[in-house]
């Protein structure tokens, strides 16, 4: 069965009404606010891709080599977009939000409209995405312009690339880079680094600290949506405290949002404390090959060719234990229901409607690689996450969905 191209629009999830910010007049006044919330549309793709496992594994290989992962939206499992305007008067574009890269640019799907606020820097930009063997580039001219989030939060002089070629954004109009500013080094001809959207929100006084809070409801739940909070976290979305853990010192995990974590399946230890990452750009939970084989024998899952995932029977599902992730002295429980792919979305990943597929997959290398796990979307739809640049730490908290049985 070939997944149809309309899938991504079918699964494009309804947007959440954003929390209102105090309004500001265009174009001079600024919103004085310690946080700003941006609504997200979350979409699952499978068009043209062999399997979500293959897409996630290609991503981890790129991360292990310290590259910027592919942003080809037709070839990733999960993508987040937001409706953001550029210029004054405003033109709206659908931006892909990417924590794995840091430049912001507009692609070829919708032409950049020059307005009174456009400033041509005379420079050019070029950013490579994907793996070294098959890199794809976004390149073109570099401008400064207004970027407006949620209609009333105007970032001045945001560095924006206007691409004459892009690496396959499909029907998405641009990319908004949420990664660290160091990843912009060498990407713009007449600058060393260019400030990211996050840097400008901080420098222009909109937020008190460079902190990003991320909420995703499960893709299969009734209120399937996401929300980014700039400058903090949304207390209404969490059910306990945020617990923070420092960025790991282990390379290459420390280049990204890397933490030290151990994992147990029930009372069986499957991965002793080791470094890995929390990553909004991966779909699954990936663990080192040795940990994965312990998990596979403990669950009784068998590799399924159609999806690339482990498949279990309903008897095995009934006997599934929780997975426990311990980081920063706190243990997060991923329930049996949270360990399976949402059955209502089985056909999106080339599975059968009644199949039960596990969302824990093999990262393709033995533990000790310096990037032994990825807590991807399937983890982050159960736990709120906070990316704190100012204090070099990651925070996690339980949500209403931690123990939900949406899958």
Ligand X SMILES: *[C@@H]1O[C@H](CO)[C@@H](O)[C@H](O)[C@H]1NC(C)=O
- List residues near ligand X by CB under 6 A: 1, 50-51, 83, 92, 94, 119, 144, 156-157, 269-272, 305-306, 350
Annotated catalytic residue: which of 279, 362, 372, 388? 279
> Taking Cα atoms as reference points, which of 77, 24, 71 lies closest to residue 47?
77
Residues 6 or more apart whose CB falls under 8 angstroms from that of 158 comprise 104, 144, 145, 146, 147, 195, 197, 200
The smaller minimum CB distance to ligand X, of residues 298 and 404, is found at 298
Annotated catalytic residue: which of 98, 166, 372, 388? 98
The smaller minimum CB distance to ligand X, of residues 124 and 157, is found at 157
Residue 318 annotated as catalytic? no
Whole-number minimum distance, CB 262 to ligand X, in Å?
A: 8
Cβ distance 266 to 322 under 8 Å?
yes
Whole-number minimum distance, CB 399 to ligand X, in Å?
A: 26
Query: Which residue of this chain has its Cβ atom nearest to ligand X in the complex?
Result: 306
Whole-number minimum distance, CB 278 to ligand X, in Å?
A: 21
Residue 290 annotated as catalytic? no
Torsions phi, psi for 305 (to 5 deg): -65, -35
Cβ distance 272 to 324 under 8 Å?
no
Report how far residue 117's alpha carbon sits from residue 101's, in angstroms, rounded to the nearest whole number. 25
Cβ distance 261 to 33 under 8 Å?
no
> Taking Cα atoms as reference points, which of 3, 182, 150, 167 lies closest to residue 84?
150
Whole-number minimum distance, CB 74 to ligand X, in Å?
A: 12
The smaller minimum CB distance to ligand X, of residues 1 and 25, is found at 1
The smaller minimum CB distance to ligand X, of residues 82 and 242, is found at 82
Whole-number minimum distance, CB 235 to ligand X, in Å?
A: 26
Q: In what order do the strands lie in the sheet with 356-358?
A: 302-303, 310-312, 356-358
Report how far residue 384's alpha carbon sits from residue 241's, in angstroms, rounded to the nearest whole number. 10
The smaller minimum CB distance to ligand X, of residues 251 and 293, is found at 293
**What residue has token string 């897409």?**
55
The smaller minimum CB distance to ligand X, of residues 159 and 221, is found at 159
Whole-number minimum distance, CB 305 to ligand X, in Å?
A: 6
Please state whether 28 falls in left (phi above 0), alpha (psi between -120 and 50) or beta: alpha
Report how far residue 200's alpha carbon sits from residue 153's, in angstroms, rounded to the nearest whole number. 12
Residues catalogued as catalytic = 98, 279
């Amino acid at each position: 069965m070939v997944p149809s191209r309309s899938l991504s629009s079918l699964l494009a999830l309804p947007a959440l009404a954003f929390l209102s910010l105090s309004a500001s007049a265009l174009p001079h006044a600024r919103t004085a606010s310690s946080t700003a919330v941006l609504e997200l549309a979350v979409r699952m793709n499978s068009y043209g891709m062999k399997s979500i496992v293959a897409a996630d594994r290609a991503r981890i290989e790129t991360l292990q080599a310290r590259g910027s992962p592919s942003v080809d939206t037709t070839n990733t499992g999960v993508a987040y977009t937001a409706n953001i305007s550029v210029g004054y008067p405003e033109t709206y574009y659908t931006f892909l939000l990417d924590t794995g890269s840091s430049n912001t640019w507009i692609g070829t799907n919708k032409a950049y409209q020059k307005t009174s606020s456009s400033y041509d820097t005379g420079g050019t930009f070029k950013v490579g995405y994907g793996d070294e063997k098959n890199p794809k580039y976004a390149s073109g001219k570099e401008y400064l312009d207004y970027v407006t989030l949620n209609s009333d939060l105007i970032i001045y002089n945001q560095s924006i690339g206007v691409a004459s070629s892009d690496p396959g954004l499909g029907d998405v109009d641009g990319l908004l880079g949420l990664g660290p500013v160091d990843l912009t080094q060498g990407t713009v001809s007449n600058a060393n680094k260019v400030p990211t959207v996050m840097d400008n929100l901080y420098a222009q006084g909109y937020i008190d600290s460079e902190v990003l809070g991320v909420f995703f409801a499960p893709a299969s739940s009734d209120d399937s949506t996401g929300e980014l909070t700039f400058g903090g976290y949304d207390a209404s979305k969490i059910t306990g405290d945020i617990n923070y853990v420092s960025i790991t010192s282990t390379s290459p995990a420390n280049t990204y949002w890397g933490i030290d974590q151990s994992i147990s399946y029930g009372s069986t230890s499957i991965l002793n404390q080791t470094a890995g990452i929390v990553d909004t750009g991966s779909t699954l939970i990936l663990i080192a090959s040795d940990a994965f084989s312990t998990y596979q024998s403990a669950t009784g899952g068998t590799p399924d060719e159609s999806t690339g995932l482990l498949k279990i029977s309903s008897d095995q599902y009934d006997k599934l234990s929780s997975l426990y992730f311990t980081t920063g002295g706190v243990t997060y429980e991923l329930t049996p229901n949270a360990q399976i792919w949402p059955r209502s979305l089985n056909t999106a990943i080339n599975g059968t409607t009644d199949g039960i597929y596990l969302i824990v997959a093999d990262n393709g290398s033995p533990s000790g690689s310096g990037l032994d796990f990825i807590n991807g979307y399937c983890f982050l739809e159960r736990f709120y996450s906070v990316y704190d640049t100012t204090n070099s730490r990651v925070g996690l908290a339980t949500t209403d969905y931690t123990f939900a049985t949406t899958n």
